[in-house]
Chain A
Amino acid sequence: MPIDVEAVRSHYPVLDRELDGNRLVYLDSAASSLTPEPVLAAMDRYYRWSRSNVHRGVYPLAEEATDLYEGARGDLARFLDADPRGVVFTKNATEACNLVAYGYVRAHLGPDDVVLSTVMEHHANLVPFTQAAHAVGAEIRHIPLTEDGQLDLEVAQQLLADGRVTFAAVVHVSNVLGTINDVARLTEMIRDANDAAVVHVDGAQAAPHLPVSVRDLGVDSYAITGHKLLAPTGIGALVARPELLDRMQPFLTGGDMIRDVTLEGATWNDVPHRFEAGTPMIAEAAGLSAAIAELQTLGMDAIRAHERAFTAELLDALATVPGVRIHGPKDVEIRGSAVSFVLDGIPPHDVGAMLGSRGVCVRVGHHCTKPLMRCLEVAATTRASAYIYNDVDDLEPLVEGIEAAAAFFAR
């Protein structure tokens, strides 16, 4: 069923805000989504009604808190078609990537190994692995871009040819270009070259917008963050094969992640708990469950269809503005809803300031992808990114704001 945007919008109190008399137009969901009422209510209910710590409590409140927290693990596993024993909660996707870098790459790779990455990675899926590779003496190779902003799989094939790639960290959907990478195919290529290779994917920009089956993608681990998919900030996850987690070293140690402790040492709890030290984010987990329910009610196929249609309109609208150059694929079948562009001769920060003054919220800057910015030969871009609460009414304020910036800053 197509998404009823008006009904969706009624769940987001902030959308009623006006900024200096302008209707709020939120086009920055690739940075962080808005939060709907049911998510706020779920967190509120935990604090008002079930507030206590998880695990080991033998009274009803503690059981409720544990059910909320462990329930979220199951909800997320079902949402991403993965094994709940492989779901490790983290504070965000960045921490999930670091968990793999510290727990796996630093523990298992050495100077004979090669780490495969791409030039379009967010710093979160790049820096932890370059640091880890340097630490163990492994080589790093990067898949470059094609002309239209996709990964160049022909070059990838060459990079894989010697069979030395034993670990890969690849983004599913680019936060700048919007490109949807064919992760399943790339994973197959990586395994064909070396069947022991471990594939880690940054799914922060994919899970909120596409139907995702971690099982079908065939990857070993998949990082997501809650705050981009209607959930609160402060909760993310590494969704991994339990067998990978079994081979990983603990990253943070302390309470809850241990089996036994002596004054001299400790033994570790089973996965996934081995990687969740200390009291976790309980209200946030309740919020995550509510967010997933919200998305599942709409249906991920319907969300994808809505965004594909919106993005097509957005690309067409931007094409009418003189001086706008879009970075990333123009074909909406292979791209998500984050659209980066530059306006000829006008610095992105000034474009963003003009749009902001008109209530239109977009992101400007390098989007934590400095190597990609160098490939594109720009210092920064302006990025408009949509979600379920955006519709074509949001395009006119965007286009008018860009045109106003062009006129205001014209030299």
Chain B
Amino acid sequence: MSMDDLYQEIILDHYRKPHNRAPSLDGEAVHVHHSNPLCGDEMDLRIRVADGHLDAVVFDGEGCSISQASASAMTDATTGRELKDALDLAEDFRLMMHGEGPSRPDDLGDGIAFTGVAQFPVRVKCALLGWMALKDAIETHERGANAHTVTHEE
């Protein structure tokens, strides 16, 4: 495998200087904690909701560069979107990780740089961690709850 196929420069940029990385969020609606025990990736994701839109999305955690960079790109791509629209985009990213699509490449923003991860099955979970945490956070909000913890098994 080639390191450059996996680690696009955009990914390394997000890894080195993550966007919307914060340990707390004022006015947080939901906080979810997701982990990927195989790799030791840990992710705290917090969202603030206003008028049916994602008013703010922040993450914190530790893990490999792919998981952290993907979460960073995800926050950029989803902040400001309607909840349903963000869920739809998360599904588009998930399908991309399984070698399909994406059908909304422009909306994924820097998330599109993760296309190559689909060739590395063991790293797909890393790239998906932030997106799956977002999906869970939105669904948790829609259930009327405010916290949820999920461990992703292999």
A350 close to B64 (CB less than 8 A): yes
A353 to B123, CA, bound (A): 10
Cβ contact within 8 Å between B40 and A366: yes
| A365 shortest CB reach to chain B, Å | 6
A373 and B1 within 8 A (CB):
no
Contact with B along A306-342 (1 / 0, CB 8 A): 0000000000000000000000000000000000000
Query: Given the known A-B contacts A20-B1, A356-B1, are A379 and B16 also in contact in the complex, defined by CB atoms under 8 Å?
Result: no
A223 to B10, CA, bound (A): 48
| Residues of B close to A366: CB separation below 8 A | 37-38, 40
**B126 contacts which chain A residues (CB < 8 A)?**
349
Residues of A within 8 A of B63 (CB): 347, 349, 379
Which residues in window 1-27 of B have CB below 8 A to A?
1-3, 6-7, 12, 15-16
Partner of A370, one of B2, B16, B37, B65: B37
Most buried by B among A347, A365, A366: A347
Cβ–Cβ contact A379 & B2, under 8 A = no
Q: Which residue of B is nearest A346, CB measured?
A: B65
CB within 8 Å of B: which of A367-411?
Answer: 370, 373, 378-380, 408-409, 411
Which A residues are in CB contact (< 8 Å) with B66?
349-350
A interface footprint on B27-43 (CB within 8 Å = 1, 0 otherwise): 00000000001111110
Q: Are A365 and B38 interface neighbours, CB within 8 A?
A: yes
Contact of A353 among B6, B12, B41, B62 (CB under 8 A): B6
Q: Which residue of B lies closest to A405 (CB)?
A: B3
Q: Check A357 against B3 for contact (C-beta < 8 Å).
A: yes
Interchain nearest-CB distance for B34 vs A (Å): 14
The listed residue (B1, B2, B12, B39) touching A349 by CB distance below 8 A is B39
Q: Quick one: closest A residue to B5, CB to CB?
A: A357
| Bound-state Cα–Cα, A380 to B62, Å | 11
**Contact (Cβ within 8 A) A350 B65:** yes
Residues in A whose Cβ lies below 8 Å from that of B64: 347-350
Kindly supply a per-residue 1/0 record for chain B positions 99-136, scoring 1 wherever the CB is within 8 Å of any chain A CB and 0 otherwise. Answer: 00000000000000000000000010010000000000
Contacts of A408 in B (CB 8 A): 3, 7, 12
Say whether, besides A347-B63, A379-B62, A379-B63, A365 and B39 are in contact (CB < 8 Å): yes
What is the interface size of chain A, counting residues whose CB is below 8 A from a CB of the partner?
A: 20
Within the complex, what minimum Cβ distance (angstroms) separates A360 from chain B?
13
Q: How far is the CA of A85 from the CA of B64 in the complex (A)?
A: 48
Cα(A357)–Cα(B7), bound, Å: 12
CB proximity of B113 to chain A, nearest CB, Å: 16
Pair B15/A20 contact, Cβ less than 8 Å: no
Which residues of chain B have C-beta atoms less than 8 A from A356's C-beta? 1
* Residues in chain B near residue A354, CB distance under 8 A: 3
Complex-state Cα separation, A90 to B72, whole angstroms: 46
Nearest to B4 among chain A residues (CB) is: A357
Among candidates B15, B16, B40, residue contacting A348 with C-beta atoms closer than 8 Å: B40
* Complex Cα spacing A349 to B62, Å: 12
Docked Cα-Cα span, A97 to B17, in Å, equals: 46
Residues of B contacting A373 in the complex (Cβ-Cβ under 8 angstroms) = 40
Determine whether the beta carbon of A357 is less than 8 Å from that of B2.
yes
Which B70-122 residues sit within 8 Å CB-CB of chain A?
none
CA distance A365 to B125 in the complex (A): 14
Min CB–CB distance A56 → chain B (angstroms): 40
Chain B residues near A365 (CB, 8 Å)?
Answer: 38-40
Known: A353-B6, A366-B37, A409-B65. A379 touches B1 (CB 8 A): no
Which residue on chain A has the smallest CB distance to residue B7? A408
Give me the interface of B with A, judged by CB distance under 8 Å. 1-3, 6-7, 12, 15-16, 37-42, 62-66, 123, 126
16 A–B contact pairs at CB < 8 A?
Answer: A20-B2, A348-B64, A349-B63, A350-B65, A353-B1, A353-B6, A364-B39, A370-B37, A373-B40, A379-B39, A379-B40, A379-B41, A408-B7, A408-B12, A409-B15, A411-B15
Can you list the 8 inter-chain pairs with the closest CB atoms, starting with the nearest? A379-B40, A349-B64, A380-B40, A347-B64, A411-B16, A357-B3, A350-B65, A349-B39
Known: A20-B2, A411-B16. 14 other contacts (CB 8 A): A347-B62, A348-B40, A349-B63, A349-B64, A349-B126, A350-B65, A353-B3, A354-B3, A357-B3, A365-B38, A365-B40, A366-B37, A378-B40, A408-B3
